[in-house]
Amino acid sequence: MRPGVDITAYQGNVKEARFGVDFFRRFDCVLNGLDNLEARRHVNRLCLAAEVPLVESGTAGFLGQVSVHIKGATECFECQPKPTPKTFPVCTLRNTPDKPIHCIVWAKEMLFPLLFGAPEASDLNETIGAEGSGEDGGEAGQADDPSFYQRREGEGSRQYAERVFRQLYSTKIEELRRMEDLWHSRRPPEPLNLDALLALEANGGSGSAAPAAKGSACKALGLTDAHAVWDVQQNARVFLVAVQAFLDERADELGAAQFDKDDQLAVEFVTAASNLRAACYGIPMQSLFVTKGMAGNIIHAIATTNAIVSGLIVLEALKLLAGAPAACQTSFLHQQVSGSKRLVSRMAAPTSNPACMVCGTAQAGLVVDTHRMTLQQLVDKVLKGRLALLAPSLSCGSFLYEEGQDLEEDEVTFYRSLLPRPLASLPGGGLVNGSIVEVSDQEQQFKAQLVISHREDWDEEVHPEGFELSGSLPAAEAEQQPAAPTATASEPAALPTSAATAAKGPKAELQETADGVVVLTSDDEEAAEAAAATGKGKRKASELAEDDGQDGKRARVQEGTDVVDLLDDSD
């Protein structure tokens, strides 16, 4: 369309300081297609701060959606709650798994950091009782000694791999079997005999000497079909070769390695380790392909879905650049034809949610055990983990905690000294039941209040994270919210656009034909007719979902890496 356009591509973490508010202000609109929720939240808040329209998109298999977010006129990306990652009680993962995902999370979050990462990051080092209480747990309920998983002096990589295998899948399983209270209503796990598996390997003619992995245990062993489910012997071989490869080929990473879904050797290790644990518990084993998707929270992409959604993104961007934001709509791509005989259904862009903690004025309730939860946990789990803040600041009475680049060294030292302290023992009387904490983030557009409620008794199955977060709108502030703009057939709602967008060229109106094709026209009468058609065509998301059996939810956003290409048209 424009062969002379000059495109500047950036590759990096979208949260880097160079991609701040000033960077986003350079654009007339931002088209977003990130692959994880935290990064999407970050871009949403920067676009709000920069007052730049955001066109969001996402796909999940055959499903997809595109939405437009304009500050002060439509809802922002975070006005509607998004699915949060599923969490599992540690005691279930360690002692009584009954689903493949339990074994995969155990291998990824517990075993991988214990062997190759920071041992303190592994929950295998925690003392957990028979049901997670820390009492009467028996030997298997006790924490593993991290020193056991360290390589001993003079120990070969193969010897180390076999020793760890026997500990995980024989010794620890035998200890669990002795915890009889766990198996009244469950089948106890069966230990694996490595010597028998190695004998099978030798009889098969492969020998006990492991081939060099060179970045992939599967390729070294000839297991090239990612969709095949390995048997127990094959999983044992992959486990041993993968451990050897980390020790021999990636020794410089030991102690700091982190699981990455794009790290082939790491995925192979997690697949083998989780399948071996599944074999012990009689749980169906999974292929490398399936395990990678579950471990990396991936819904594998479909090219045609991505192509359709990409086209819908461009259509909404054209409306913004043409100076006609009132014509923007939210589009949903369905797996089956809906009641309107279309695969793509549309609705008017919803207005902002006044209770939104990002673009509105909101108050959230936080239920915690204020004597056990530390300030570090509040910052990491709630503010950064659940709310995706970058540099949170908290204030309550005389208590103050800040993060950011502008702090003096003595301030940083002081605030860090507060992190290990329980909330109830913080300065200024602590954060206790009934405390109202002002939370903000200067690097993003975020300001909200947290109302603290104390609770001592927690059901770990229901709340494995140890807190409960809920949001609501204060009545006094709700009355101060401006009335949402409405569109009529003769007077479309006027939505704000940036000065740069208005300066791009003469304002044009957009009209949608009966076939769903959007065309530009400068005829005011035709534009009014188009607005009328748009108004008649408004439907609720729940109605659209009912047409094809969907549940009305938007396609989920999966977590992963924060790499994004940002394009700048600067010709």
Q: Which residues are annotated as a binding site for ATP?
A: 35-40
With CA atoms as reference, report the closest residue to 321 among 7, 3, 29.
29
Q: Phi/psi zone of residue 518: left (φ > 0), alpha (ψ -120 to 50 degrees), beta?
A: beta
Closest CA to 530 of 508, 511, 517, 513: 511
Instruction: Give the residue ranges of the annotated binding site.
Output: 35-40, 76, 79, 356, 359
> What's the CA gap between 446 and 443, in Å, rounded?
9
Output the six-digit token pair for 219.
């390729």
Q: Which stretches does DSSP call E strand in 323-478?
A: 329-333, 344-348, 362-368, 392-396, 399-401, 436-441, 446-454, 467-472
**Structural contact between residues 567 and 5, judged by C-beta atoms closer than 8 angstroms:** no
How many Å from the N-terminal Cα to the C-terminal Cα in the chain? Answer: 14
Sequence-separated (6 or more) residues with CB below 8 Å from residue 90: 123, 126, 128, 132, 460, 464
Q: Cβ neighbours of residue 519 under 8 Å, at least 6 residues apart?
A: 510, 511, 512, 513
Q: Edge-to-edge strands of the sheet including 467-472? A: 399-401, 392-396, 436-441, 446-454, 362-368, 467-472
The CA R_g of the chain, rounded to the nearest whole Å, is 27
- Catalytically annotated residue among 29, 91, 328, 396: 91
Which residues, 6 or more positions from 129, have their beta carbon under 8 angstroms from its beta carbon? 91, 135, 136, 137, 141
Is there a catalytic annotation at residue 396?
no
| DSSP H or E segment with residue 126 | none
Looking at 439-558, list the stretches that DSSP marks H as alpha helix, in order from N- to C-terminal side: 475-478, 499-502, 524-536, 541-547
**CB under 8 Å to 446, separation ≥6 — which residues?**
45, 357, 358, 387, 389, 439, 440
Q: What is the DSSP letter of 494?
A: P
Token pair 């380790």: residue: 273
Q: Which residues are annotated as a binding site for Zn(2+)?
A: 76, 79, 356, 359
Strand order in the sheet with 344-348: 30-31, 54-60, 63-69, 329-333, 344-348
- Whether 534 and 528 have beta carbons less than 8 Å apart is answered as no
Say if CB 356 and CB 362 are below 8 A apart: yes
- Among 340, 360, 192, CA closest to 276: 192
The size of the chain, in residues, is: 571
**DSSP-derived secondary structure letter, 121:** G
Of 403, 344, 466, the residue nearest 57 (C-alpha): 344
Strand partners, 374: 422
Give me the active site residues, please. 91
